[in-house]
Amino acid sequence: MMKLIIAIVQDEDAGRLVSALMDKGFGVTKLATTGGFLRAGNTTLISGVQDEKLEEALSVIEKICKSREQITASTTPMGGAGGVYVPYPIRVTVGGATVFVLEVSQFLKV
């Protein structure tokens, strides 16, 4: 039996994740998607896997998409109205994956 993995990941992790899954022999389809909340681009990967390979695929996703902190520049105005836009570093959490695992009732190539 098979499972279908739907994994929503950050664009910056997507390329490495596709390569890592392909290297291990998984079939992958990559879709350009948009998150409903942030209205920003993200990437959705779909991958059909044999039941016994599910844990291996999930561990690849977890390894590549581990959430981590990143320092980025913010340009929020400082000093109130008419203030100067001074870039300053802020810490943001990036990475992570939202993963759904579905039962596959049929897998056909016709």
Give the CA distances from residue 43 to residues 8, 83, 110, in Å, rounded to whole numbers and listed in that order: 6, 36, 27
**Least distance from ligand 2BA to the Cβ atom of residue 36, Å:** 4
Q: Does 93 bind ligand 2BA (CB under 6 A)?
A: no
Q: Does 88 bind ligand 2BA (CB under 6 A)?
A: no
Widest CA span in the chain: 64
Residue span 40-79 as binding mask against ligand 2BA, x where in contact by CB under 6 A, dash where not: --x-------------------------------------
Nearest to 53, CA basis, from 19, 15, 27, 14: 27
